[in-house]
Amino acid sequence: MGAVPTVTRWWGSRSDPERIELYTRWSFYSLLGALPLFAVAVLGSAAEPVPDLAVGLFVAGAVATAVGGVLVTRRGLAAHRRGEPLPYRTVAGAFAAAGLMAAAGAWAFGTGGSTPAVPWSVALPLGTVLTACATVWTTRQLLPHTVTIGVLSGFAGHLDGTPAPAAVAQGIALTLAVIGVVLAFRFSVWVLDVVQETARSRGVALQLALAEERLRFARDLHDVMGRDLSTIAVKSQLAGELVRRGQPGAAEELGDIARIAEGSLREVREVVRGYRSADLAGELAGARSVLRAAGVACTVVGEDAGAGLPPQVHTALGWVVREAVTNVLRHSRAAECTITLSVTSEEVRLSVVNDGAGEAGPGRGNGLTGLAERLAGLDGRLSARSAGGRFLLDATLPRVPA
């Protein structure tokens, strides 16, 4: 019983690309690992007794083909990630094992009685290895090989005594079967590529949003400081020149420098205060921008209700929105986030709900603890809970704090 939560926690700790990668990898491994079982099933369908040596070679070929296919899959997924071709020796070894299994099957079931086991014993190993090659090979590369497998299967059935029309029909049917399996696994690799590319795009979007915010701050700081620093530099040179020449006016220039420096200091503090403070309207707009850039659908309900709230309530709720958005980006794999603001005659309530939440750890983090202390200073309350894969952050404040 204890192993199930452990497996669930292990699976839940993986990101979506990691889950898709594991699913794709083990889909290949499951097909390849089942090849010896398919071989036993084909042996069971034989109408005539099969020589022991042929049975041994057929089963050994199935095991060798399965091992070779696993190696091709493992190295193929790694090569696909790096944009490299399949390793030639590994592929050649896997097809050699498949050829051994096919030859052993043709010998074991080739009684001249037109049994379908012969074409199946040829198509099964070759098609399995070709499926492993789908980790790297494109559809255009795979299709000619599926036709080759169908032709070989039909030809083997014809040599076993199957009439030519029936052998052609068998070859066409096996070609279509191999095409269906190969393209299905090729599609799973394509899905893996799409998910990984989406994750990379999401990361790039987050970095661009952060870079844009840094540029905004740098621009504001440059606009505030550039002119004043240039003025201070010119007046400093002028005061120095007046002192060297012994002319009056240096004291006035120095006074202007001090006055400009004090004004610049005030403006810088205002810029930093605006950067570090949290305004509800600004934070809601920023939440939409950042979450949508990260691929999270953001819905804000009741935004207009906060228009007449006191400034300290605006600031406190802005901090709630900022902390909630930070938690969504850092600690969840959210696809949706809903921010709801409701105002009554006595209190203001802000709720932030997102999906994709993992299991909540014991206690609160530093961010939520500091936020709760900030709200407590205004007689407010903060609650946070996780249930059913959704996380709810709920903040309540008096409409007119004491």
* pLDDT tens sequence across 189-225: 898 888 888 877 777 777 777 777 677 667 666 666 6
Helical ranges in 246-279 per DSSP H = 250-276
Which residues make up the CATH 1.20.5 domain(s) of the chain?
A: 207-276
Question: Other CB atoms closer than 10 Å to residue 354's CB: what's the count?
Answer: 27
Q: What is the pLDDT of residue 293?
A: 64
- Smallest Cα–Cα separation from 109: which of 150, 175, 52, 160? 160
325: its two tokens: 């958005």
Q: Is the pLDDT of residue 47 over 80?
A: no
Domain with residues 207-276, CATH architecture:
Up-down Bundle (1.20)
Q: What is the pLDDT of residue 271?
A: 67
Percent of the chain past pLDDT 90, that is, above it, reads: 23
Per-residue pLDDT, averaged over 19-48, amounts to: 82
What's the CA gap between 348 and 303, in Å, rounded? Answer: 12
Residues with Cβ within 8 Å of 43's Cβ and at least 6 positions away in sequence, in order, are 50, 55, 58, 59, 108
What's the CA gap between 357 and 20, in Å, rounded? Answer: 18
Q: Are 354 and 330 in contact (CB under 8 A)?
A: no
What's the CA gap between 8 and 39, in Å, rounded? Answer: 34
Q: What is the mean pLDDT of the chain?
A: 82
User: Which residue type sits at 17?
Assistant: P
Superfamily name with CATH number, domain 280-398: Histidine kinase-like ATPase, C-terminal domain (3.30.565.10)
Which whole-number Å values give the CA distances from 165 to 9, 112, 147, 160, in the listed order? Answer: 56, 16, 17, 14
Per-residue pLDDT, averaged over 380-386, amounts to: 90
Per-residue pLDDT, averaged over 310-339, amounts to: 85
User: Which residue type sits at 71?
Assistant: L
Q: Is the pLDDT of residue 1 over 50?
A: no
Q: What is the pLDDT of residue 287?
A: 82
Q: Is the pLDDT of residue 172 over 70?
A: yes
* Chain length of the chain: 402
* pLDDT tens sequence across 326-353: 888 777 888 899 999 999 888 999 999 9
Q: What is the pLDDT of residue 265?
A: 79
- The Cα diameter of the chain in Å comes to 122
Which residue would you say has higher pLDDT here, 98 or 237? Answer: 98
What's the CA gap between 230 and 42, in Å, rounded? Answer: 88
Which stretch, 101-115, 175-189, 283-297, 327-341, has highest mean pLDDT? 175-189
What's the CA gap between 45 and 142, in Å, rounded? Answer: 29
What's the CA gap between 323 and 300, in Å, rounded? Answer: 16
- Smallest Cα–Cα separation from 209: which of 323, 288, 293, 332? 293
Per-residue pLDDT, averaged over 386-393, amounts to: 87
pLDDT bin (cut points 50, 70, 90) of residue 9 is low
Q: What is the pLDDT of residue 7?
A: 63
Q: Are 50 and 109 in contact (CB under 8 A)?
A: yes
Angle at 259 between CA 256 and CA 263, to 5 degrees: 135
Q: Is the pLDDT of residue 395 over 80?
A: yes
Q: State the pTM of this model.
A: 0.58
- Smallest Cα–Cα separation from 320: which of 361, 360, 294, 348? 348
Q: What is the pLDDT of residue 146?
A: 92
Residues with Cβ within 8 Å of 264's Cβ and at least 6 positions away in sequence, in order, are 224, 225, 228, 229, 232
Q: What is the pLDDT of residue 396?
A: 93
Q: What is the pLDDT of residue 126?
A: 92
* pLDDT tens sequence across 120-158: 888 989 999 999 999 999 989 999 999 999 999 888 888
242: its two tokens: 């007046």
What's the CA gap between 255 and 136, in Å, rounded? Answer: 74
* pLDDT tens sequence across 61-94: 889 999 999 999 999 988 888 888 988 999 999 9
What's the CA gap between 258 and 255, in Å, rounded? Answer: 5
Which residues make up the CATH 3.30.565.10 domain(s) of the chain?
A: 280-398
Percent of the chain past pLDDT 70, that is, above it, reads: 85
